[in-house]
């Protein structure tokens, strides 16, 4: 199973970036149209992205530096809810915050789609954390 990793520096304070990972209204400013988030270990992580139902749990929450969630999609046999893991590590910098994102345990059949999805969403996170409206979330998965 391949892993995906990327990073970005965001010109926003670490606390603001962190809030975009743990608060539903902040989450949906950059990813999805609806979110139910209970940002404590074992708490619900649920984001509806254009009809794709991402489901999992918060695994680790270390305010304001780290968030780990289990990740999968309702009704998807090769990536069921909670079957992969997404880790966000936040590091303060002189200009703002570096976000290192790592998605592990992705099945081969889902790695390309998640790579393009995360490329889209990491930029949307950067815009939202800077207070810029990234516009409607129109992402659709890559189909092969």
pLDDT the model gives residue 87: 99
Q: What is the pTM of this model?
A: 0.94
Average pLDDT over residues 116-138: 95
Q: Which two tokens stand for residue 6?
A: 């990327």
Domain ranges of the chain: 4-129
Predicted local distance difference test score (pLDDT) of residue 144: 47
Vertex 91, ends 87 and 92: CA angle to 5°?
150
Predicted pLDDT of residue 142: 64
CATH match of 4-129 with 3.30.70.1520: no
DSSP state of 76: -
- Diameter over CA atoms, the chain: 44
Q: Measured in Å, how far apart are the chain's first and last C-alpha atoms?
A: 18
């Amino acid at each position: 199973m391949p892993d995906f990793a990327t990073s970005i520096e965001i010109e926003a304070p670490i606390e603001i970036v962190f809030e975009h990972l743990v608060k539903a209204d902040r989450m949906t400013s950059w990813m999805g149209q609806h979110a139910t988030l209970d940002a404590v270990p074992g708490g619900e992580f649920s984001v509806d992205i254009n009809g794709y139902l991402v489901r999992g749990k918060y695994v680790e929450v270390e305010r304001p530096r780290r968030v780990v969630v289990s990740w999968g999609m309702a009704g998807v046999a090769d990536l069921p809810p909670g079957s992969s893991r997404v880790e966000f590590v936040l590091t303060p910098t002189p200009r703002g915050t570096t976000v290192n994102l790592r998605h592990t345990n992705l099945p081969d059949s889902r790695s390309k789609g998640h790579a393009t999805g995360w490329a889209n969403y990491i930029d949307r996170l950067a815009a939202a954390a800077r207070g810029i409206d990234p516009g409607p979330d129109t992402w659709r998965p890559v189909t092969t």
